[in-house]
Chains A and B, each alone.
Chain A
Amino acid sequence: MNSKIKAKKNFNSNTLLLVITIVLFCVLYAGGCIAYGSRGFTHFQTFLNILITNAGLICVACGMTCVMLTGGIDISVGALIAMDCMMLAVGMSKGIGAVPMVLLVLLVGVVFGIFQGFLVGYLEIQPFIVSMAGMFFCRGMTAVICTDQVSITEKVNATFYKWANSKITIPFGGYTNNKGKYMVPYVRPGVVVALLVLVVIFIMLRYTKFGRSLYAVGGSAQSAAMMGLNVKRIKMGAYMLSSILCSIGGVCYCLNTMAGSVTQALGLEMDAISSAVIGGTLLTGGVGNVIGSFFGVLINGTISSIVKTNGKLASSWPNILTAALLFIFIVIQSIFAAIRARRK
């Protein structure tokens, strides 16, 4: 009985964080609509554009959420995406087909994830140090593959180019532009992939054994081990999942940028972490939800969209605002944690 009440209380404060996030997104978006309504912010396409530009980030944030649920962190994601894009670009310009290249990138993600997961799970090295080394390794490896910017044009690979430029139209929410032409809203294939990943991970976390054991390990690794869970293997699984999702995200990201360069996706790990934290994932592990992370990504996207629409603000503002939001949410989390500790 007592545990039931406790579970309910936990549930409440955690849903509260999620609600705050969703409300914040609505307020930000509404604010953007009011301030920049005349510049097309109210169009449905603006929202879809946020999804299109952040398709890769959604995949990465899902993986980051899984890792953070176990109480770890993976800061190698941004560099891994840069390496993925560079591999895709260089591989295709060498004449390898789009499908084998994508499969190769996913395979690299799996191997990289297994390696990181082994170091964290089995050798018990701090996740931060491991993924930091992973980050430097990937960033350096990108430069080893090629130091120049390599772009993917139609000549390089027609299939990949077709994927990147195909539009999936949506039958509602269109508008007539000032030339009198009706604009049909559309998304890119990357968005479909990202939303699919989101749904799959949501179901996995909620209904499968592996998903639930992620929560158990993050809540208390010791209790999870006593319950008979293989904590080491689950931790390794989390990092592997993160790297695979990151590679999927890398392909989505590459579909947007159509290029590989060393400085690509610089600081993306920060965006992913802040999205997850803003979405209510606790840094100490055990609490979190991919839906929250999804809204976290949307908030980040809305901020940069507003700054872009304004046009006069310095380019460093999105960074500062995201960091400020991260700061606020971390403080809220620690206050909640303090209240919970006092109740006990």
Chain B
Amino acid sequence: MKAWNKIKNWPLLLPVLALILVMAVNIIHDAATGVNPMSFFAVSLRDTTTNGTILYGRIIDIINRGSEVAILAIGMTLVVSASAGTDISVGSVMSLCASFMCMNLAGYGVSSTTTLAKPLIVGLLAAVLMGVVCGAFNGTLVAHLSIQPMVATLILYSAARAIGLLLCNDLIVYVRNPSFAFIGAFCGPIPTPIIITIVCIIIVSIVLRKTALGMYIQSVGINAKASRIAGLNSKLLIFLAYMLCGIFAAIAGIVASSRITSADSNNIGLYLEMDAILSVALGGNSLGGGKFNLAGSIIGAYTIQAITTTLYALGVSSIQAPVYKAIIVIIIVVIEAPPFKAFIRRFNAQRAAKGVKA
């Protein structure tokens, strides 16, 4: 009983359970179609003509493709925790950062290039700078003008993609340069996006562990007024959370853009804000702000990617996939809704009372 309670209160229960469920669906599907049931977990080395020897397997693919969502989920977790709201502009900001970077790398108005107009580092810094600017814009609206986060970020949600198109002169800018493509390709046998994600996660967890930033953000999220009275600069912390979210959106944008070696303003990061919010919710974090669990969000992000990959494997097309994701979101939020929890508690109590009578 004690062990059961321990498991029940484990913060990572929901994401891990969901991940196991997804794996089970995969195994059953493989078994049903006559493929080796364990092929889901199989990882092998394969020789390719373009990238040399690389790691190959469905797990690797999920972790690789899930990089953007995982990176976004880090920033989203901080935003949700600090401001009890979500940043819905991340997908569009990703696209804007990618467009700005490719515009810098290719030169304005150039639609396709193999040589870089400026050093790679300038392009990368430009993307991150754009992320900082977007994050600061959102942060100012939320922290200093006290506008609801979702509405404040709605402005960039619709404008950022359009600005990106404007920067690219309404074109899809291709930068077919090996040094740029490296970010989205392979570093030795390991996909580079995985390495970038791991580095991001390690840096953030060190900062959160070694400094009090994580605790401050949580305390602002639990009660902004009380934190201010206790001597914390609530506004600055909320602002900081949005700025970090913008930076992570920029990094995700760099990865996404490098994967396709182009800046496709209309499609980069499309619907990714939904995935990022979903990973935070799936990770057992309350969307009402306060305490957060970064590990949960990241497991949540990979679970989302696993769900997406599984849906594709089951033959659902990419434009139909949102239906299933929406159903999953509704199930998660209903389970976490206080009135529903109260209802379950009452139901259990009633059943227990009946049991005593019988």
Residues of B134-156 whose CB lies within 8 A of A: 141, 145-148, 150-152, 154-156
User: CB within 8 Å of B: which of A110-161?
Assistant: 119, 122-126, 128-130, 132-137, 139-141, 143-144, 147
Q: Which of B145, B319, B338 contacts A334 (CB 8 A)?
A: B145
- Whether B333 pairs with A320 at a CB distance below 8 angstroms is no
The distance in angstroms between the C-alpha atoms of A145 and B330, with both chains bound, is 21
Q: Which residues of A contact B358 (CB under 8 A)?
A: none
> Which chain B residues border A327 with CB–CB below 8 Å?
155
The 7 closest A-B pairs by CB, nearest first: A140-B323, A323-B159, A140-B322, A316-B162, A137-B326, A319-B162, A136-B322
* In contact, B170 and A315 (Cβ under 8 angstroms): yes
State in angstroms the CA–CA spacing of A130 and B330 once bound together.
7
B319–A143 CB distance below 8 A: yes
Question: A97 to chain B: closest CB distance in Å?
Answer: 28
Q: Interface readout for B327-339 with A: 1 if CB under 8 Å, 0 if not?
A: 1011001100111
Check B287 for interface membership: any CB of A closer than 8 A: yes
Q: Complex formed: what's the CA distance from A277 to B152 in Å?
A: 12
- 15 A–B contacts, CB within 8 A, in A order: A129-B86, A140-B322, A140-B326, A141-B323, A143-B322, A143-B323, A270-B154, A277-B151, A316-B163, A317-B166, A320-B163, A320-B166, A323-B156, A334-B145, A334-B147
**Does A283 lie within 8 Å of B339, measured CB to CB?**
no
Is B319 within 8 A of A270, CB to CB? no
Give CA–CA (A132, B146) in the complex, Å: 22
Q: Does A331 contact B (CB under 8 A)?
A: yes
Selected from B148, B158, B320, the residue in CB contact (under 8 A) with A140 is B320
Min CB distance B118 to A, Å, is 24
Among B147, B163, B326, chain A packs the most CB atoms within 10 A around the CB of B326
B175 at the interface (CB under 8 A from A): no
Report whether over half of chain A's contact residues are helix, strand or loop; otherwise say mixed: helix
- Which single member of B157, B170, B281 contacts A270 (CB below 8 Å)? B157
Docked complex Cα distance between A129 and B317 (Å):
24
Shortest beta-carbon distance from A321 to chain B in Å: 9
Does B312 make an interface contact (CB < 8 A)?
Answer: no
Q: Min CB distance, A130 to chain B, in Å?
A: 7
The residue from A128, A141, A147 contacting B317, defined by CB atoms under 8 A apart: A147
The A-B contact count (CB < 8 A) is: 127
Which A residues are closer than 8 A to B by beta carbons? 73, 119, 122-126, 128-130, 132-137, 139-141, 143-144, 147, 262, 267, 270, 273, 277, 283-284, 314-317, 319-320, 322-324, 326-327, 330-331, 334, 337
Q: CA A134 – CA B330 in complex, angstroms?
A: 9
Say if the beta carbon of B274 comes within 8 Å of chain A: yes
Taking a contact as CB atoms under 8 Å apart, the answer to whether A129 and B159 are in contact is: no
Residue B321 lies at the interface, judged by CB distance under 8 Å to chain A? yes
How many Å lie between the Cα of A139 and that of B157 in the bound state?
18
Residues of A within 8 A of B145 (CB): 330-331, 334
A262: chain B residues within 8 A (beta carbon): 319
Whether B324 sits at the interface, judged by CB under 8 Å, is yes
B166-A123 in contact (CB<8A)? no
B271 within 8 A of partner (CB): yes
Residues in chain A near residue B324, CB distance under 8 A: 140
Question: Are B327 and A137 touching (Cβ within 8 A)?
Answer: yes
**Contact, CB under 8 Å: B151 / A330:** yes
Residues of B within 8 A of A319 (CB): 158-159, 161-162
Q: Are A314 and B170 in contact, with the CB atoms below 8 A?
A: yes
B319 touches A125 (CB 8 A): no
Separation of A277 and B155 alpha carbons in the complex (Å)? 12
Residues B339 and A143 in contact, CB atoms below 8 Å apart: no
Given contact pairs A124-B338, A147-B319, A284-B148, a sample of 4 additional A-B residue pairs in the complex whose CB atoms are under 8 Å apart: A126-B333, A137-B326, A316-B166, A330-B155
B337 CB contacts on chain A under 8 angstroms: 123-125
Q: Is the CB of A125 within 8 A of B165?
A: no
| Interchain CB contact under 8 A, B152 and A330 | yes
Minimum CB distance partner of A68 in chain B = B151
B325 within 8 A of A: yes
Q: Which residues of A contact B147 (CB under 8 A)?
A: 283, 330, 334
Give min CB distance, A195 to chain B, whole Å. Answer: 27
B133 to chain A, nearest CB (A): 14
Residue contact A314 to B165, C-beta cutoff 8 Å? yes
On chain A, the residues within 8 Å of B338 by CB distance are 124
In the assembly, what is the distance between CA of A209 and CA of B157, in Å? Answer: 36
